[in-house]
Structure 1
Amino acid sequence: MNFNTSIVILSLCFLACVAEPTPAPPPVPELNDSTGVARFLSLGDSYTIGESVPENDRWSVQLAALLRKDGINVAPPEIIARTGWTTAELASAIEQANKPRHYQLVSLLIGVNNQYRGQSTERFRTEFKELLTTSIAFAQGRKQRVFVLSIPDWGVSPFGANSDRAKIARDIDAFNAVAKEECEAAGVLFIDITPLSRSGLNQADMFASDGLHFSGKMYGLWAREALPAVKALLSK
């Protein structure tokens, strides 16, 4: 093979490569580092930490898995949550954790323990607003990358059978009304999963073995409910 023939062959190979480019990978959210993975921070209480369920059954872990399945490269969530936390206790834990504030997605689910302990909606409003501000800061000031899940209704659980379920429902609705109002004022997405939680009434498989907290099956319903809206957030 002479030199000129080699040049022709190389030129043809180059043109073939140009004519049939490799398909571009699915777009990912704004990236945090060289890993090419969007970081997800999930803030909350027992419903976020997944009391009495395996780690993979947590609602935010399931949501991240669904996002990856749909081609969005989101890391498993980093979680700041603990069973029993109120808004004030979550705020204190966030301060102590001293996390870097560069996440591409931030979720917040908090308030059931404020209701359970009989705290006022006025106090909840003040502390919830502060948590919204903190959540937006974690998302690098991008409120469109923050979302809130409503407080589920624990009264429908087997544990709540001997309680005044109607009163619990009214209280939960009142706290959720405050959360929704503050989300709308802050320009943060509010996702109402409370009706889904109430659909678990008298369905044993929707609750964990402790009879109070929800099961991975219920958390999966929340994750699928949130999925379309969260995908839309990540496109912004």
Structure 2
Amino acid sequence: MLKLINVIIGIFFLLAACATGSEQLAIAPGNEVDTSSGQNGSVRFLALGDSYTIGQSVRESERWPVLMVDDLRRAGKNVASAEIIARTGWTTRDLINRLEGNPPSQKYDIVSLLIGVNNQYQRRSIEEYETDFKNLLDKAASYAHGGKSKVFVLSIPDWGVTSYASGADRNKIAAEIDQFNKIAKDECSKLGISFIDITPISRTVVNDNSLLATDGLHYSGKMHQLWVNASLSVVKTKL
């Protein structure tokens, strides 16, 4: 009888130790960092941005990050579905706040950044954009396997050529967009980060209304595909 009691007591302490160990090893969601290179060996792609990245007014299948994955798969790359952190109306500061409040919980093989149009639209200062953009480049690099060599930036499209801007000073908008893009390009150059200029492509909408989304402000899936076409060769070199 005494022997049986000792066995029961031993089992009790063993279970208690296991429970305590589980509590000590538990990692809260959002703090865990996955350093693997994608599920089942697939490439992970994180896209950061605003309405142009989320694909405002186009179908999910027509968003440029989704189209990028499609083209990479056709090229024989094993790529997981794109993970997008973006929202219509976001400025650089909004994106920073989102990333600092709820950072990515894993590492990625490629990371993209397209941000700034709302800084220009809301008349935020160039100085603020420069500071924030540097911050975002650092964050993007920290989320990527291989750091900054796995990051690429798309320039800000020119919304001034859209029908939505018909009553605005289009030359002024274009000049300001160019100024923001120069900051982005210069900062990318300093860090050796790939910068892809899609702004001239966005301006071709004046000759082809099919490149414009139905809301008259954002761009159609056809335009999103043109951005992918301009970026694909650069992205392939990062895989």
The TM-score range, normalised by the shorter chain, is 0.7 to 0.9
2:96 to 83, 87, 91: 91
Could you tell me which residue of structure 2 aligns to residue 66 of structure 1?
Answer: 71
Checking the alignment, whether the CA contact within 8 Å between 2:38 and 2:108 is kept in structure 1 is: no
The alignment status of 1:105 with 2:110, answered yes or no, reads yes
Q: What per-residue deviation string (whole Å, max 9, x for no partner) do you get for residues 1-24 of structure 1?
A: xxxxxxxxxxxxxxxxxxxxxxxx
Quickly say closer, same or farther: Cα 1:33–1:204, change in 2 above 3 A.
Answer: closer
Percent identity between the two aligned chains: 52
Aligned residues: 205
2:228 to 220, 223, 226: 223
Instruction: Tell me the CA shift for residue 95 of structure 1.
Output: 2.1
Instruction: Tell me the CA shift for residue 96 of structure 1.
Output: 2.6
2: distance between equivalents of 1:34 and 1:214? 32
SS of the residue 1:199 aligns to: helix
Instruction: Tell me the CA shift for residue 98 of structure 1.
Output: 2.5
Runs of 4+ with >3 A deviation: none
Checking the alignment, whether the CA contact within 8 Å between 1:31 and 1:104 is kept in structure 2 is: no
2: distance between equivalents of 1:45 and 1:180? 18
Structure 2 letter corresponding to 1:102: K
Q: What per-residue deviation string (whole Å, max 9, x for no partner) do you get for residues 103-136 of structure 1?
A: 0010000000000011111110000000000000
TM score, norm. by length of structure 2: 0.83
The alignment status of 1:207 with 2:208, answered yes or no, reads no
Q: What per-residue deviation string (whole Å, max 9, x for no partner) do you get for residues 3-50 of structure 1?
A: xxxxxxxxxxxxxxxxxxxxxxxxxxx961451111100000000000
Q: What per-residue deviation string (whole Å, max 9, x for no partner) do you get for residues 179-225 of structure 1?
A: 00000111110000000000111422111111000000000000011
2: distance between equivalents of 1:227 and 1:39? 16
Checking the alignment, whether the CA contact within 8 Å between 1:38 and 1:103 is kept in structure 2 is: yes
Gap regions ≥5 residues in structure 2: 1-34
Q: What per-residue deviation string (whole Å, max 9, x for no partner) do you get for residues 132-187 of structure 1?
A: 00000000352111000000000011101111110000000000000000001111
2: distance between equivalents of 1:194 and 1:110? 13
Q: What per-residue deviation string (whole Å, max 9, x for no partner) do you get for residues 30-83 of structure 1?
A: 961451111100000000000010001001110111011001111121000000
Could you tell me which residue of structure 2 aligns to residue 121 of structure 1?
Answer: 126
Q: CA RMSD in A?
A: 1.3
Checking the alignment, whether the CA contact within 8 Å between 2:36 and 2:107 is kept in structure 1 is: no
Quickly say closer, same or farther: Cα 1:33–1:167, change in 2 above 3 A.
Answer: closer
Could you tell me which residue of structure 2 aligns to residue 39 of structure 1?
Answer: 44
110-119 or 98-107: bigger deviation? 98-107
Could you tell me which residue of structure 2 aligns to residue 3 of structure 1?
Answer: none
TM score, norm. by length of structure 1: 0.84
Structure 2 letter corresponding to 1:41: L
Could you tell me which residue of structure 2 aligns to residue 185 of structure 1?
Answer: 190
